[in-house]
A and B are shown apart, each in its own frame.
Chain A
Amino acid sequence: MNLAFHIAKTHLLTRKKQTLIAMLGVTFGIGMFISLVSLMTGLNKFSEDISMSSSPHIRMYKELKAGEKQVIDEVFKNQINIVHHVKPKDEVLRIRNAAEITEQLNKDDRVAAVSPLVVSQVFFNYGPIQLQGLVSGVNIFEEDKLFDISAKIKSGSLEDLSIHKDGILLGTGLAKKLSAAVGDRVQITTPKGDVLSLKVVGTFQMGIGTIDNVRSYANINTVQNILQVSHSFITDINIRLKDINKAASIAKEYAAVYGNTCEDWETANATFQTGNTVRNIITYAVSITLLIVAGFGIYNILTMSIYNKMKDIAILKAIGFNATDIRNVFLLQSIIIGFFGSIAGLLLGFILSSLIAQAPFDAGEFFSITHFPVNFDPLYYIIGIVFGIATTSLAGLMPSFKAGKMDPVEIIRGQ
């Protein structure tokens, strides 16, 4: 094997130009794969983070449903009854027994954090204009565990909300529209028409325009008071899991146990998920195509090289090399090309993705980012090199076996 390696190395080094060209094919393939996959997964991760910041792993709430079971079905059981235009009951959209459920959820091993909250539509009064918005009554520390709000605070502080009973945290977009800064007071109008004044203790930025323009946080008791409901009134329970990938199955389980609607983050962000899938397909399709092209390049060069080296193959066989030895000589060449080509490809990919990461990217109002999000996960570098070596070895396999099987007598006779 050592000798085969020595011969392979000598062959490659005496034809530097050809070797370099073969390597460049692999280098470009892997380099493009790395930069594509880095950008695409970076975008995916970014959109996932964004969707994570706006939706909990599981959101439990009471959905408005027109009565599914009609009285008529109870009376005339053995016939098909059709009731047109069923209207919902006058029912408050609250989670019953919220305190109990919260306690049980907190005991579940799979759950990392639970935050019960009261969400209400409100109007923010700005001079003569009323801006629509949402106020979430929360225990801000519980909510922080779910959405890491403390990292997204732009001014003021999270703790101030727990100190000031009538405090409010505004989304940056909302604060800008209201020209409100920390310390100012804002007036809100509840759906029932009550007007209340709250003190701005801080602003936060989730990074999505549609959220930062409408959402605000206040203390749960304050919101319950504004809405004139009891302190057991809870509209949503947000749940953070230890393993995000189990969200869908656990959501189903909770829905069955507690009878409320449980929506997992994947369902809530289906559009993001579709985008991710499409990006992944494009990334892999393009990368595989590039590598296959590089593979054909290696196949060609190796076939040419074997054709040129027929005399050498004959003499090596005559002096005692068997088919396996000859095959190894050529297979090693393609593996060496693949290895160094891939390493250079990783480097090229890293340089390209570093450049992309520095390119300014204006996503407009919707996302607050300034540069392309690029993922530098080492996993993709490992995939890249494995993929590169695998393709080149595969491409080298057929010509190498052919070389191993060549009949030396035929070659010598043909001379």
Chain B
Amino acid sequence: MDILIAENITKYFYDPVKFKVLDDISFKVKQGEFMALVGKSGCGKSTLLYVLSTLDTDYSGNLKIANNDLYQWTQSELSAFRNQNIGFVFQFHYLLPEFSCLENVMIPALKLARKSKNEIEHDAMNKLKILGIDDQALKPAHKLSGGQQQRVAIARALINEPSIIMCDEPTGNLDTYNTDLVFDIFKMLTHELKQSIIAVTHDNDFSARCDRIVEMADGKIIS
């Protein structure tokens, strides 16, 4: 089953001069697939990720995630959609520093408001346990090490059981040990839990071990 279908995605940058950053991009992602999006700096892979993740709506073409045709949805509808269907993992972790790890994981679920607070807390604790950092749950997010923070961010991405997880350089800021850890977690998520993941990365070792590599150059997919 295809979880994500991108058709003829084209996007321009207008500043400082008009420039075609994404050129007629089409591809599909299957459920449970672990896909790496690679390419040189400036090839448009991050831009493509933001388009796919619905954060960037200034493009032409069709985007379909989990059977929802997202073309011309309003910002508010897209926010609600992201909340439920897309998990994010960024290079710089982006946890809310004032909150505890547990709260950070809980926030997307509290926003979704499908379950009671107790259930959400239980779920969040479970996710932290899967990622092996349940012992840090009550610490403020900024007191954790980089690797630990990234694992909390992954737990947060998982909390609403999204259709797909988007990662922007998820290991870019981590040492080898933590990179391996995060990679193993992703591998486990895709293969055991049938979670789909798209990861933008520079790291060749990382991408080499993914299920599929999509390489971009000058706004196009080359392989």
Contacts and interface: CB of A to CB of B under 8 A. Distances in A.
Contact of A321 (B84, B90, B97, B111): B111
A322 B55 contact: no
A318 B53 contact: yes
Contacts of B46: 413
B112 A320 contact: yes
Contact of A412 (B75, B90, B107): B90
B107 A3 contact: yes
Contacts of A163: none
A325 B79 CA distance: 10
A10 to B, nearest CB: 5
Nearest to A15: B98
A187 interface: no
B41 to A, nearest CB: 13
Contacts of A312: 96-97
Nearest to B88: A318
Most B-side CB within 10 Å, residue of A10, A318, A325, A415? A318
Given A311-B94, A409-B55, A319 B111 contact: yes
A311 B110 CA distance: 20
Nearest to B46: A413
Contact of B56 (A319, A324, A409): A409
B83 A319 contact: yes
Contact of A3 (B84, B97, B111, B156): B111
Nearest to A311: B94
A156 interface: no
Contacts of B107: 3, 7, 316, 319
A332 interface: no
Most B-side CB within 10 Å, residue of A319, A324, A412, A415? A319
Contacts of B108: 319-320
A314 B55 CA distance: 10
A320 B83 contact: yes
B75 A322 contact: yes
Given A3-B107, A408-B55, A409-B50, A320 B94 contact: no
Contacts, number: 71
B98 A322 contact: no
Interface in B107-132: 107-108, 110-113
Interface string A1-36: 011001100110010000000000000000000000
Contacts of A93: none
B76 interface: yes
A317 B99 contact: no
Contact of B98 (A2, A14, A314): A14
Majority secondary structure of chain A interface residues (helix, strand, loop or mixed): helix
B79 A317 contact: yes
Most A-side CB within 10 Å, residue of B50, B79, B95? B79
Given A3-B107, A322-B76, A317 B98 contact: no
Interface string A39-57: 0000000000000000000
A349 B112 CA distance: 44
B109 to A, nearest CB: 10
A320 B99 contact: no
Given A312-B96, A314-B94, A320 B76 contact: no
Most A-side CB within 10 Å, residue of B50, B56, B96, B99? B96
B111 A317 contact: no
Contact of A322 (B50, B79, B110): B79
Nearest to A413: B46
Contacts of A409: 50, 55-56
A316 B98 CA distance: 13
Contacts of B138: none
Contacts of B75: 322-323
Interface in A285-337: 311-312, 314-325
Contact of A318 (B82, B110, B113): B82
B168 interface: yes
B92 interface: yes
A413 B49 CA distance: 12
Contact of B55 (A11, A317, A415): A317
A409 B168 CA distance: 12
A148 to B, nearest CB: 62
Contacts of B56: 409
A324 B75 CA distance: 11
A413 B94 CA distance: 13
A321 B84 CA distance: 11
Contact of B92 (A318, A322, A415): A415
14 contacts: A3-B110, A7-B96, A316-B107, A319-B82, A319-B88, A319-B107, A320-B108, A321-B79, A322-B75, A322-B80, A325-B111, A412-B50, A412-B55, A412-B90
Given A10-B98, A320-B112, A409-B50, 12 more contacts: A315-B90, A316-B107, A317-B79, A318-B55, A319-B108, A320-B79, A320-B80, A320-B108, A320-B111, A321-B111, A412-B55, A415-B91
8 shortest A-B CB distances, which residue pairs?
A: A320-B83, A322-B79, A315-B94, A14-B98, A322-B76, A319-B108, A320-B82, A318-B88
Interface of A: 2-3, 6-7, 10-11, 14, 311-312, 314-325, 408-409, 412-413, 415
Interface of B: 46, 50, 53, 55-56, 75-76, 79-84, 88, 90-92, 94-99, 107-108, 110-113, 156, 168
